Amino acid sequence: MSKRERYDDNFTGNADRRLRALIFSKDEDEDNRNKREKLKHIMLKVINNELTPRQKEIIMLYYFKNYDIVEIGKMLGITPQAVSAAMARGRQRMFRILQYYI
């Protein structure tokens, strides 16, 4: 049985889309830049203090390095499904805490 090279990225909901747009925004507006930096700072605190090492690595690659699930799986030597499962658990924990800040 061959490995699937293509895997649908199911983390494209509205909350995720807005979060990634804010993180990767090139907006030069002072207010938006301050919001973006504050969000990144809070996310990094949550990631470092609340997630497992594997979840931390996957979340950092996905949100801050802008890799997709297939690329992350290849980098870590795991299946895209394993990346997706760890991502879902980590993201759920992260969003549960972030909802108090955003």
19 vs 30: which has the higher pLDDT: 30
Q: How confident is the model at residue 7 (pLDDT cuts 50, 70, 90)?
A: very low
At 27-73, the pLDDT tens digits run 667 877 787 788 888 888 989 999 999 999 999 998 888 898 999 99
**CB contact at 8 A, 73 and 82:** yes
Three-state secondary structure of the chain: CCCCCCCCCCCCCHHHHHHHHHHCCCCCCHHHHHHHHHHHHHHHHHHHHHCCHHHHHHHHHHHHCCCCHHHHHHHHCCCHHHHHHHHHHHHHHHHHHHCCCC
Is the pTM for the entire model greater than 0.85?
no
The class (CATH top level) of 14-98 is mainly alpha
Q: How confident is the model at residue 102 (pLDDT cuts 50, 70, 90)?
A: low
